[in-house]
Chains A and B, each alone.
Chain A
């Protein structure tokens, strides 16, 4: 059974074509803004959210970025960011804000759809650059909830090893490893949400305040919250 999906994107082309291009998804609603989606309140398994929704001509003051993620998750939606954003701290901030995954728009359609299905099924899709950040946080004891087995898995995945390679190293089946990885990424994402920007700055060796631009805290309104600079 196909998961039901809502798409929030300011580009009408994306909104109109996503359901056609990704036959594995049942796109039941598309919206240009988070506000529109919340007004409609559809019952869906997943919301695909573009990070950059401000459009000076048509929707100059709408929620976007972290605020949009928080608004959706506050209403119980499962969110997967679908954006061209590649800055790792921005992507990590999205996970920290409650997104269950971030998928790049530059990925091939079938690969992107595979990831959406994974998130819709309850999984967490963390981009490699964010896995790197998570590994640093674990190594520097910012996140301390991991078992030895989980550390080994994170060690392998952070180095880009495939599921098959890591499974071989740990003498488990590939499907078992995928399950472990799902649990691990969910656990790490939750741990990430509990960290402050200052803690992360310290762990990553950044200067105080370096993350404030990305890691705005308690942002629920459209004023004064982080804005992503790059346009998709």
Chain B
């Protein structure tokens, strides 16, 4: 029951276009049923004073029945009236106004709920604020205004200002209510569009994360699949184990193997030393004849998540060197200056390539440049055919 009740609560309605249309039906129901409630106390007086008791009762029942019907239809369909129903609603309001002189005595047409027709017409105008067609809305409103003129008839000059005021009430309420309906619809539309955009961006971000995470793993698996000797295969096993850990952490909903469950507060921001992490990564590439010169950057510390991004980038770079560079020597150098800015340089003396003509692959583009730039780290690549490749990862002083 709680669930069923909750669906009817305005506070629980979604702030979507669908939710907004549903709220409009609540507004319409309130206006229509509220009008009926105001009509009820005066019915006795109306029947007693009406020159045609039966016709008055028929008009009253028609108005009350239509209000209830409109309310039910709107609540069931969860949206304001459509064009046909709204036309019928306007037609009934106009008919009641036109019939009013026959069921009311002249003195009761102003300022009494015995003459319920004028207030009923206003509730119809407010109901029509949700109609999409502006022509139907404007036409209906004009019809009501004209019929109201018939309704007031010749009442004498002392009531003219009141009549004009009532006519203006129709116009002002109609315009204001319609503006409000349209504006709320626009907000809901924009909210839906923003949600769709956010969802699309989240999907792309997830795709990027998956690409970043899987890239190194795929490279290692390719090397494992094509490694000829047991010696080269055993060298890759350590790398494969690290990648498996990362992928498992990803599948469990964690960003990295060492980060907490998503949503948990913080250990991902704990600063850690970069040099030992770089050294561990280099140890997994012992076959590359690699020199890791990290003394000058021994004091570099950075948030764990950033350090792990650097580690993934370094691994991706070294996988590239192993797969493509045919290098005799590889140097990984870490340096921090007096201002706290630091640079991690990865150089090889391999075959190099022309960065102008060779577009970067997923590893370089996403895992290295994209991922590190997102974290405020600059990446520069210098390479030329036959002259090796140098990639420098830099954090300037004060960069976040």
A160 and B328 contact, CB distance less than 8 A:
no
Q: Which of B291, B296, B347 contacts A136 (CB 8 A)?
A: B296
Instruction: Name the CB-closest residue of A to B299.
Output: A205
A135 and B296 contact, CB distance less than 8 A:
yes
Q: Is the interface of A mostly helix, strand, loop or mixed?
A: helix
Q: Determine the chain A residues whose CB is within 8 A of the CB of B293 once the complex forms.
A: 128-129, 131-132, 135, 158
Measured in the bound complex, the distance between the Cα atoms of B288 and A106 in whole Å is 12
Measured in the bound complex, the distance between the Cα atoms of B345 and A129 in whole Å is 15
Tell whether A58 is near chain B: CB-to-CB under 8 Å: no
Tell whether A164 is near chain B: CB-to-CB under 8 Å: yes
Given contacts A128-B329, A132-B333, contact A160 B387 (CB under 8 A): no
How would residues 7 to 46 of chain B score, 1 for a CB under 8 Å from any chain A CB and 0 otherwise? 0000000000000000000000000000000000000000
How would residues 329 to 368 of chain B score, 1 for a CB under 8 Å from any chain A CB and 0 otherwise? 1111101000000000111110000000000000000000
B328 and A165 contact, CB distance less than 8 A:
no
Given contacts A159-B331, A159-B345, contact A164 B387 (CB under 8 A): yes
Q: Determine the chain A residues whose CB is within 8 A of the CB of B332 once the complex forms.
A: 160
Q: Is the interface of B mostly helix, strand, loop or mixed?
A: strand
Q: Determine the chain A residues whose CB is within 8 A of the CB of B207 once the complex forms.
A: none
Query: Within the complex, what minimum Cβ distance (angstroms) separates A210 from chain B?
Result: 13
B333 and A205 contact, CB distance less than 8 A:
no
B390 and A159 contact, CB distance less than 8 A:
yes
Measured in the bound complex, the distance between the Cα atoms of B352 and A162 in whole Å is 11
Q: In the complex, which residues 68-120 of chain A have their Cβ closer than 8 Å to any Cβ of chain B?
A: 106, 108, 111
Q: Which of A131, A161, A205 has the largest number of chain B CB atoms within 10 A?
A: A161
A128 and B295 contact, CB distance less than 8 A:
no
Tell whether B388 is near chain A: CB-to-CB under 8 Å: yes
Tell whether A20 is near chain B: CB-to-CB under 8 Å: no
Tell whether A145 is near chain B: CB-to-CB under 8 Å: no
How would residues 289 to 308 of chain B score, 1 for a CB under 8 Å from any chain A CB and 0 otherwise? 10101011010000000000
Query: Within the complex, what minimum Cβ distance (angstroms) separates B100 from chain A?
Result: 95
Q: Determine the chain B residues whose CB is within 8 A of the CB of A139 once the complex forms.
A: 296
Listed by A's residue number, 5 A-B pairs whose Cβ atoms lie within 8 Å are A136-B296, A160-B291, A160-B330, A160-B333, A162-B387
Residues of A near any B CB (own CB < 8 A): 106, 108, 111, 127-129, 131-133, 135-136, 139, 158-162, 164-165, 204-205
Residues of B near any A CB (own CB < 8 A): 289, 291, 293, 295-296, 298, 328-333, 335, 345-349, 382, 384, 387-388, 390
Give the 7 A-B residue pairs with the shortest CB-CB distance, closest first.
Answer: A160-B331, A160-B347, A132-B293, A128-B291, A159-B345, A159-B333, A164-B387
